[in-house]
């Protein structure tokens, strides 16, 4: 299944990312969310594949993401 929105975030911002997921679901917007759409096998490949299929990438750019390596 192709996804419309890819959500990128720091795991420390998971509550905010989950809020966005809920809002997307309420609006009927399809999205890719790692904890739901990825297994731990070949996760790098799965992320790159999802990014390639996404029409939009939403980046939650907060303090945690800025401080992240």
Within a 10 A sphere around the Cβ of 54, how many other Cβ atoms?
19
pTM of the model: 0.81
Instruction: Answer yes or no: are the C-beta atoms of 53 and 3 closer than 8 Å.
Output: yes
pLDDT value of position 3? 59
Residue ranges for the chain with pLDDT beneath 50 = 1
Domain ranges of the chain: 5-62
What DSSP character marks residue 60?
-
């Amino acid at each position: 299944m192709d996804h419309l929105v890819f959500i990128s975030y720091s795991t420390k911002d998971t509550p905010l990312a989950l809020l966005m997921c809920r809002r997307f679901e309420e609006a009927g917007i399809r999205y890719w969310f790692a904890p739901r759409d990825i297994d731990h096998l070949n996760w790098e490949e799965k992320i790159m594949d999802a990014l390639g299929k996404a029409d939009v990438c939403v980046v939650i750019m907060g303090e945690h993401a800025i401080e992240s390596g």
